[in-house]
Chains A and B, each alone.
Chain A
Amino acid sequence: MAGTIYRKPMTFAVAALVAVLVGSVATMAYPMLRADMHPKVEGLKPLSPLELAGRDIYQREGCMGCHTQMVRPLRSEVVRYGGMRSPEPAGRYSIAGEFAYDHPFLWGSKRTGPDLAFEGWLKPAAWHAAHFKNPQAVVPRSNMPAYAFLEGRLLDGAEMQAHMRALRVVGVPYTDEDIAKAPAALLGKTEMDGLVAYVISLGKAVDRGARAVVEARLDLQNPVAGNAGAVAKGKALYADNCAACHGDAAEGTPEVAPSLVDDIFLEVKGDMPDAAYFTLVKGGSDAKKALGRPGFKEGGMPAFSGQLSDEEIWSIIAWLRERKAHPGGK
C-alpha cells in the first residue's frame, strides 16, 4: 500500500470520492430505484389546505424535536398508541405507504412527549385546541410549552397556494381545483385551527378505528355493579384511558369533554342507564345517535372496543356509578 497515491492529491481526492460514493450509491441512491421505497396505501389523499398549513406550523415550531410520528412494530408500542384497534394486522403500526406524500418525513428521533402517528384516532379536536393553548391545564406536570399565540394568527390563502404548487412539483397530486379552492377553505382560519386539523389527520390513511358496529342495547345490566374489586379496577382503568379528557375526578374539562358525574348526560338533564354508558364507551360518539340525545356537536369520543374488554368497560362504569350521588336513569 505504499503507493504513490499519497503524493498525488488529485488522484487521492478522486479515490476518496469513489470510496465515499460506493456506500452512498448502495444504500441511498440505488434504493430510490426500487419499488419498496415508494409504496402508497390505497386511497391516500394529500393533506387539505388547512391540514397542510398545520403541518407547516408543526415544522416551524420544531414539534418533531419532542414528538415522533412512527409507531414501531413492538407489542408494547402498538398497545400504547391504540394500534390494536386496527382490523388489519399491518395497520397496527406505522407502514411505509401512508407517508408517500410526506416531504420530508417527520418521524422524529426523540420521544420526549408521546408519539403522534395515530393521533387522529386518539383524541378529539377540542382536546388538542385546549391542550395547545395551555398544556398543563389539561395534562398536569407536562413540560410542553404553550402555543396560545397560534390563536391570534390568521392563515394566508395565497401563501398556502404557493406551498401546494411547490408540493405538486415534487409529486403530491394537488389539482388546479384544489389549489384554487384553498383561499376559501382557509378564510378566517387561524394557525391554531390548522395545527389541530393536522394533528387529528395523523394516521388516518389507514383504518385504525373500531370497525365493529356497536349495537345500542339498553336492556343490558352491569354484571359487576357494586363489586368492590371491579370498582377499584375501574378506577385504575379510568385513570389510564379516560382521565386525559374527562379529568382525574371525572368532572370534565371545559370545552374538551363533559363531566361524567353530574346529572347532565349528552347535553340533556337526566341520567341514563349503565347500558347507555356502555354503548358510548364501546362505540364512541358514533354510537350516540342510538341514544336519542344530541351530545357535543363535534363528538370526539373515541370507540374503545378493541382496546378495552367488555368486562373492563363495565368496571369503569361501576366506578363512575360509585362516584355519582344519584341512581342510574331509565
Chain B
Amino acid sequence: MNDYRYDHRTVQGFILSAIFWGVVGILVGLLISVQLWYPAANFPPYLTYGRLRPVHTNGLAFGLGVGAIFGLSFWMVMRLAKRPLLFPRLARVQLWLFNVGIAAAAVSLLAGYTQSNEYAELEWPLDIAIVVLWVMFAVNILGTILKRHEEQMYVSLWYIVATVVAVAVLYIVNNLAIPAGPMKSYHVFAGVNSANVQWWYGHNAVGFVFTTPILAMFYYFLPKATGLPIYSHRLSIVAFWSLVFAYLWTGAHHLVYSPLPDWLQTLGIVFTLFLIAPSWGSVVNGYYTVGQDWSKMRSNYLTKFFVLGITFYGLQTVQGPTQALRVVSQLIHFTDWVPGHVHMGTMGWVAMIVTASVYYVIPKIYGVQIHSERIANVHFWLVLVGQLLFSLTMWITGVRQGFMWKATDQDGKLVYQNFMDSLVGNYPFWQLRTLAGVVFTVGMLFFVYNVLMTIRKGRAFEAGRATPVGPAAASAA
C-alpha cells in the first residue's frame, strides 16, 4: 500500500482543488443568475455579467471538471494498470500548476482578457500553460498504461485515452491565434470559418470533458461501488468507437440557420441524430448492469447517484439531437432553453457521477467508511431537486420567449415588436432559477462537508495506526 500513498495524496489534492474551484464556480453562477433579474447586482468594471459568465463556465468546466478528471483518472489508471503512477512527482507538479493556472485564468477573465470563443476564452499565455498541463497529464497516463501489470485494458482506460488524444487536438486547433499584445490575440480563422472551428471545438469540449471522462468514471466506479459487473462488454466496445467517431461531426448543430453553408449544417444535424445510438449504448449498459440486482438501489447509497446520472445522460442525449433539428432550433436557439439543456448535463449527469466517484475514492484512500451516508442522501435529493427545478424553469421560459419572438399577426406584423415584452417575462422564471441554484448549492455544500469530514476521520484513523509503526509510512515518495 505504501507505494500508492504518495499518488493517493496527489489524487486527493486534485479532488480537493476541484471541490474548491467548484464552490467558486457555483457561487459565481448564483451571482450571475441574480444579475439577470436584478441588474444592480452588477459591479462594473470587474463584476459584470459579461465578465463573470466565462468565470462561471471556465471555473466549472476546467476547475471542477478537469480537476476531477485529472484526479479520478489517475486513480482509475493506477487501479486498472495495477501499479502506481509512472511519474509521481510530475503528477504533483501538475497539481500545483493546475491550481496556479486556474487562479490566473479566473483573474484574467475578470480583468477582461478573453478571446471571446466559448469555453476557449483564455488568452494565449494561459493557453500555453494549459497545453503544458495536458502534456504532463498525457505523459503520466500513457506512460503508466504502457508499464501496466494487467494485460487487458478495461473500458474506462479507452475513454481516458480517447479524452487525452481528442482534447489535445481540439484545444490546440481552436486556440490558434496571433498575439497582438501580452494578453490579447486574434483568432487566425475569420467569419463563418471561425464559427465552424469554434463550434467543432465547443461541442467536443462537451464531448471530451463532460462525456468521455465521465463515462470512464461511470464504467469504473459503478461496478466498483455496487459489486455488479458491466452487463455487456461487446456493447461497450460498439458504443465507444461509434461515440468517439461520430462526436466530431456534430459541431455545426450550434450554427443552424446561420450563414454557415447549408450542407455543413445538415451534415452536423445528421450525425447529431446518429449520436443517440452510442450514447444510449452506455445508458442501456448502465441500466442492465444495475438491473442484475435492483436491490442495490436500497442497500448501496451510491447506486442511485449512478442510476440518476446515467438517466440524465440518456435524457440529455435525446434532447440534444432534438434541438439540432431545424424546426426545433428555430424556436429554442438563443433562448434560455439551451442553458436549461446544458445544466441538465452538468448538474444532472456530470455532478452526480463525479460526486459519487469522489464518495467512493476518498474513504478508500484511508481505508475508512464515508463520514455519513445520511448526509450523502440529503446531498443527493437536494442536487436532484435543484437541477430539475433549474432545467424545467429554463425550458418553460425558453419556449415562452421563442414563441413570443416568432408571433406574428395575419398581416405578418410582429405581435411583440418591443423586445422588452418577451424579456420581462423571463424575470419570474429567472428568480425561480436562482432559487433552484440555491437548493443545488446547499446540496453541494453537504457533499463538501461530507468529504472533508471523511478526510478528517481518515487522518485520525491513519494517525492512530501509524504511531506504533513509526515513520515508515512517509517514505513512499
Contact = CB atoms under 8 A, between A and B. Distances in A.
Interface of A: 1, 6-7, 9-10, 12-13, 16-17, 19-24, 26-28, 31-32, 34, 36-39, 56, 59-66, 68, 70, 72-77, 79-80, 94-96, 99-114, 135-136, 139, 141-149, 159, 162-163, 165-167, 169-171, 239-241, 243-244
A265 B161 CA distance: 72
Contacts of B408: 75-76, 79
A111 B169 contact: no
Contact of B116 (A21, A106, A114): A106
Given A61-B50, A62-B50, A103 B248 contact: no
Nearest to B249: A23
Contacts of A104: 115-117, 186-187, 189-190, 194-195, 198
B14 interface: no
Given A61-B51, A105-B191, A113 B419 contact: yes
B159 to A, nearest CB: 10
Contacts, number: 271
Contacts of A75: 408, 412
Given A6-B152, A170-B188, A143 B423 contact: yes
Contact of A31 (B264, B333, B413): B264
Nearest to B233: A2
A61 B247 CA distance: 32
A136 B39 contact: yes
B338 A23 contact: no
A177 to B, nearest CB: 19
Interface string B140-162: 00100110100111000110011
Contacts of A147: 44
A109 B254 contact: yes
Given A64-B116, A99-B190, A9 B142 contact: yes
B44 A99 contact: no
Given A7-B151, A96-B191, A163-B180, A65 B50 contact: yes
Contacts of B45: 61, 149
Given A104-B117, A159-B181, A62 B54 contact: yes
Interface in B316-372: 330, 333-335, 338-339
Nearest to B202: A109
Interface string B18-54: 0000000000000000011111001011001111011
A103 B334 contact: no
A141 B184 contact: no
Interface residues of B, number: 101
A65 B48 CA distance: 11
Contacts of A56: 184
- In the A-B complex, the 6 residue pairs with the smallest Cβ-Cβ separation, listed nearest first, are A62-B50, A23-B248, A166-B180, A99-B191, A240-B417, A145-B42
14 contacts: A6-B152, A13-B142, A21-B169, A22-B245, A28-B200, A72-B257, A72-B258, A96-B261, A105-B192, A109-B334, A113-B423, A141-B424, A169-B178, A171-B190
A11 to B, nearest CB: 11
B407 A105 contact: no
B470 interface: no
Contacts of B338: 109-110
B186 A103 contact: yes
A17 B167 CA distance: 10
Given A27-B249, A145-B42, A6 B153 contact: yes
A31 B261 contact: yes
Contact of A166 (B179, B406, B419): B179
A143 B39 contact: yes
B464 interface: no
A166 B190 CA distance: 13
Contacts of B200: 24, 27-28
B180 A165 contact: yes
A1 B165 contact: no
Interface string B379-409: 0000000000000000000000000011110
